[in-house]
Amino acid sequence: MNLSSWLNNKGQTMSAFSSVLACSITYHNGFFKTLATMKNRKQTLTVSSSFSIPFNNELKKSMEELVPIVSSRRAVNVSILTVLLWDTLSCFIAMANGEVLEVERYTDSVEGFTLLRPSSWIKVDKAGATALFQDTNKGSNNVGVVVIPVKITTLSQFGNPQFVADKLILAEKRKESTKEAEVVAVSERTGEGGLQVYEFEYKVDSTRGGMKRIFSAAFVASGKLYLLNITHADGLESPIEPDRRNTLEQILHSFDVAPST
């Protein structure tokens, strides 16, 4: 691990610690404030009961009227404590869901494509990839683009979306590390200038990284085949949370030929 990665991880750890501390302080402040209120009320009742007042019908009536008031106050105290506990739990749930994935526009004017990319993910060089962005916390989560020269002018000359999806799954199953691969969704959309774009979603269970969710898109333009691959961990123990999935789908739908200048 290099120094920049260590500092980044260190910063995230301190950020998480600060969030936990904030939750704890909020909870304890509210909790002890409630205890203080209950204590003051108890003292008030004790002082009131220390007076020597003859027990007559009027006093009996007053006591009977006081019972529902005290019970009501106890119910309010319990409700306040429940709210405080729930707020604290919500804090921890929000932290467990992970960071919000922000995106920014990335355009490669040389190769002629554009897409949204996670702004917090780092761009890395890898053989065979025209562009690759990796999650700083988990490198197997990535967004990659490959550009290959081809002789066809449209994707339909290669096959329909389902045909291409079958080829993708077949290629995945041929890998030694793949235990299982399954197509989830296949679709087609229109890109810049009427461009034909195929989109795919499939899941792969691999000996390298476990269960993964993969979103892919492809189009042909200017004698080149453009392929987008978005890979993200999606196991049973830690599935993709809804907001993260929505962002990945947003990236998928943003993949297009770069607008002409």
Q: Tell the residue number behind the tokens 């002890």, with chain if given.
A: 32
Cβ neighbours around 7 below 10 Å, total:
11
Distance CA 197, CA 68 (A): 69
163 Cβ contact list (under 8 Å, min separation 6): none
State residue 176 phi and psi, 5-degree precision: -65, -30
The token pair at 217 is 């898109």
State residue 42 phi and psi, 5-degree precision: -65, -45
The per-residue pLDDT for 111 is: 97
Per-residue burial over 126-151, b = 16 or more CB atoms within 10 Å of its CB, e = otherwise? eeeebbbbbbeeeeebbbbbbbeeee
| pLDDT tens string 149-208 | 999 999 999 999 999 999 999 999 999 999 999 999 999 999 999 999 999 999 999 998
10 or 247: whose pLDDT is higher? 247
Please give the CATH topology (third level) of the domain spanning 103-257.
Protein Transport Mog1p; Chain A (3.40.1000)
Is the entire prediction scored with pTM above 0.75?
no
In the chain, what percentage of residues exceed pLDDT 70?
A: 62
Delimiting residues of CATH 3.40.1000.10 domain(s) in the chain: 103-257
| pLDDT tens string 11-43 | 443 333 333 333 433 434 444 444 444 444 444
